[in-house]
Homo-oligomer: A and B are copies of this chain.
Amino acid sequence: MTNQKSPEGGDRPLAGLRIVEFASYVAGPSAGMTLAQLGADVIRIDPLGGAPDYRRHPVSRDTGESLYWTSLNRGKRSVEVDVRSERGRELALALATAPGAGGGLVVDNAVGRPWFSYEALAARRPDVIKVHIGGLPGGGPAVDYTVNTEVGVTDLTGAADNRTPVNHVLPAWDLLAGSTATTALLAALRRRDRTGSGSDLRIALADVALAGVANLGWFSEVRERGDRPRHGNFVYGTFGTDFATADDGRVMVVALTTRQWHALCAATGTAKVVAALAESLGADFTDEAARYEHRETIAAVMRPWFTARTLEAAGTALTEAGVLWSRYRRMSDVVSDFEAGAASPVLTGVDQPGIGPVISARSPIRDGDEYGTAATASALGADTGAVLSEVLGLSDAELLDLRKAGVLGSG
């Protein structure tokens, strides 16, 4: 099904790279997973018994194994060592700094592990590239759910008539931090190829969130105009909102461009009313800022069209008119699509050892318009012996000795 775990890998973009990942939760593991999908040999160092997220929800109903952990650790090899022991630490350091032009590449989120610092690694391999993902820039802890409240995104999310802030369920900053880490690692590798220099790179989750919001211009806006009011499901700065249909369906429509705006007016039969409205308000609705300013009035004018139609009828008319729209769906709707073969091929079924059939994903990066293959996750520690033998040249006798001493897991 896959060759992702092979250090070879033909002409895949990152063939020939060996990355050591020493991380848990979402950001670091998602970075390693992405690099594996692009063809790198990703070796994950797991402490004995697994990192704290090894059993994290969701878990398989039948086997109790974590659907979360096996999803985020697909395509990697797992080396399980006692990182509290000197000998285990020596193995982790040796793997991270083993020779080879494609080695010496590390992603970690270890906190309170001075023995695995950049300095400790660089002392063994001066051109090591280490990408450390942390919480706060000063080193303190933070997670997606805490940084999102601190940057004020939760304050803007939710219905306009409710003052309670609304948390994101999606760990968006974690996913973005993981992707930022892969970019950072590959950029530093290009520098190493050019200059021979290694890199000590650090990414704080809190900084990813602050920069992400600043990059949209939102902090500058707030300094000039004060806090933006909550909008519910309206899109900021243009016309976009949700409408309920006659059969309890719900659609999202967005008119970012003038063409999309005209299509929406035409589809909903509101062109004349909207034109009269524009005239009476002295507004030019071909300017998205005007559509935004009068969003509630516009929505009120269009709402009857939606409430008089089923989701299917409304959707057909919107599509025919060229409106940018979507359905509000539950995750079970996506699963139904998948079961019917109607989902994007980025989703694919794999048979995950320890669990059984799961809905997995290929890389969203199509290469020559082809999605890559989808891998499974190794069982915890399953590759310990093979990796230590292949990368560090350990003999069977040495492996046996380490196992007897409890330095290696039982995988």
Contacts and interface: CB of A to CB of B under 8 A. Distances in A.
Contact of A344 (B16, B30, B39, B210): B210
A324 interface: yes
A175 B212 contact: yes
A298 interface: no
A327 B159 contact: no
B344 A236 contact: no
Interface residues of A, number: 153
Contacts of A84: none
A362 B400 CA distance: 50
A167 B157 CA distance: 7
Given A180-B179, A199-B13, A361 B211 contact: yes
**Of residues A188, A250, A324, A366, which shows the largest number of chain B Cβ atoms within 10 Å of its Cβ?**
A366
A187 B186 contact: yes
Contacts of A210: 334, 343-344, 346-347, 361, 364
A109 interface: no
A292 interface: yes
A166 to B, nearest CB: 6
A403 interface: no
Contact of A220 (B179, B359, B363): B359
B166 A329 contact: no
Contacts of A170: 153, 157, 168, 172, 212-213
A333 B152 contact: yes
9 pairs of A and B residues whose beta carbons are closest in the complex: A57-B237, A67-B217, A146-B326, A172-B172, A58-B221, A179-B179, A13-B187, A214-B361, A186-B186
7 contacts: A67-B221, A143-B254, A149-B326, A168-B170, A172-B172, A175-B215, A220-B360
